[in-house]
Every structure is written in structure tokens, then in C-alpha cells.
A and B are shown apart, each in its own frame.
Chain A
Amino acid sequence: MSKKTAYLGLMLALALILSYLERLLPFDFAVPGIKLGLTNIVPLILLYRDGFKYAFGLNIARILLANLLFGNIFALTYALSGGVLSVLAMAISKKTGLFSITGVSMIGGTLHNVGQLAAALIVLRAPALIYYLPLLMVAGLACGLLVGFTTALVLRRLEKAGL
């Protein structure tokens, strides 16, 4: 139990570092707010190694902490709805057994952006935001692809190292 706690703490710290790193990288040249989604590597690893419960919990904790530490509290609604939808979608698509980890990640990346935009639509009541949706979906797909490949590599290394 304490080993698991330490492990999850370590993973949370890793996710926070990745969140921070991502804020340092200017990646939102086309649409404000677009991020690479590197942070998603951690919940994805947890989803495959430890199960949905841990991936979900870690993601919520990570979003709350990251927004408190170096984000802004106003973005929390968007971040949370994106994070929750993304992990749920990844867990479901993993459970179907149809997709590889890359496919699961692509679905998660897309749904993350859909969730964020849905929250923005509800909060701001600005229907014009819907024009961003196709762009955000494609961006989420592309970033999810990269993240999925990376996570597959990480998982393989971890397995080889016997961890």
C-alpha cells in the first residue's frame, strides 16, 4: 500500500513536471490554448499498468495542482472537463480491445479538446466557438498520435527494465 502511494506520488510529480514543461514550450501558434499534451503520457501509462481508477485519480489531482501552481483558476473548468472526458474515452476505447495504445491516445487527445471546447461553449455561451472545433479535433488527433507513440516506447522500456 505505501509502495503504491509512493509510486503514485512519483507519477503525479512527473505529470506536474510535464505540465510545467508544456507551459514553457510555446506551441500555440495557430490557435490559442493548443498544447502538445505531453502530460497525457502519465495517465496513459497508469491506465495500461495500473488501471482506470488510478489514471483517473491522478489526472484529476494533476489538473487541480497544475492549475493552482502555474495555471489560472478560471481555466480549471475547461481543464477538468477536458481531462475527465479524455480519461473516460481512453478507458472505454482500451476496454474494447480494438485499439493499440496509439489509437487510445488519439481518441483521448481528440476528446480532451472536445471536452474543453464544450465547457467553453457552455460557460461563455458563444456559439461562434464551434468554428474552432474541427481544428481542435485535428490537433488533438495529431498530438494524441505523438503521445501514443511515445507512451508505447516508454512502456516497452519499462517492461524491458523489469519495472
Chain B
Amino acid sequence: MYEFLAGPMFILSLCVFFVGLLVRAIWYVRGLHWQMDRVAYGMYPGPGIKGAARSIGYWLLPFGTYGWRAQPFMTVAFFLLHLGAVLIPLFLLGHTLVLKAATGIALPAMPARIADFLSWAAVIGIAMLALRRIALPEVRILTSAYDYFILLVTAAPFITGLVARYHAGDYAFWLSLHMFFGEVLLILAPFTKLSHIILFFMSRAQIGMDYGIKRGGINGKGMAW
């Protein structure tokens, strides 16, 4: 089972993930329409790029925007989850070994202590996001089973990975389950809301260009995100 999940299945998941997200990004750009969107995307590359970079950059900064500062609980939950969700898959020692074995690509590995911390942080972040969905009426009204499904798909690799890491239970079983859920996540990403892995950047770049090119970026200091 391990060989299958670490070999062909892993390669397949990576392909679906990267090709799928790339296609989503290409579709997104191809579907932009200067007149319908009312943004002259191609005409002002300078303000466009500046606007896009500011729009993405500030939102990647914890408490970097008015929105983040207005909602500290959400901000903490968001960054706890996303720090782990980005760094753990790439730089956890076990992951780098599997990646090297399967593809030959060697990424540096992070110390185990940091990996532990980030993994727990991600789980806590997910729990906080779930709690928000239950507790806050303004989030509850928007929440559907699909939103919990996405949280579950995101949580599963972390939880199974932690169980395996602490050798709680049958290690081989939990490791396989962990790999399975990790690959499920990779495969689902392009077809679900997880596509925000790439579309977050596209969408933020778009609104940044909108403000940078059309809605005043050229007039002043730029939007105070």
C-alpha cells in the first residue's frame, strides 16, 4: 500500500493538482474581459502590477489589512491554518523524502519541532474556523455542508499525520491513511473551493489591478487595504 501511495498515486495526485490548478488559472485569465469587467488590463502595466502586488501582499500579512485587523479571531485562525497548510506539505522531512524518491526534486526540510508546531497550529486553526461557523450567525447563514466538507478534507491529512507522527495506534495504517487523505486533497483542489490555492492570487490580483488601473491607483497613494 505504501509503495502505491508513495509512488504512482503520489505522482498522479501531483499532476492533477498542478495541471488542474494551472488550467484554472489559465481559464481565469482567458475569461477576463476588459470591457465587461471594465478594467483596461493591458493598457497600464505599471499601475496594474503595482496594484496587484499591493492587493496580494497586504492580505498575506497577518493583521496587514483593515479587514484582518477588524477580525482578530479570524485572522489568527486563518494564519494558523494557512502557515501550516503551505509549509508542512512542502518542507516536512518525511514529505521531502517522498518527493525526492518519487520525482528527484529535493526541497530543504524543516526541523521536527517547527513541523510539530505548525501542524498543531493548523489543526487549531481549523477548529477555530469550524467554531466560527457554528457560533457566529453571520457565518452560519452562509455555511452549508460543503463548507464543512472542505474543512474536513483540509483537516484529515493533518490529523492522520499527527496520529502517525506520535505513533498512536498502528503506524503503517495511519501513515497510509495520511497519505491517502493528502492525495485526496491534492486531487480535489482544482475542482473544489480549494482551487483558491491559485484563484486567491488571481482574484486578488484582479481587484488590485481594478483599483490600480481604474479606481484611483493612478490618482494617489493607492488603496489602503
User: Does chain A bind chain B?
Assistant: no
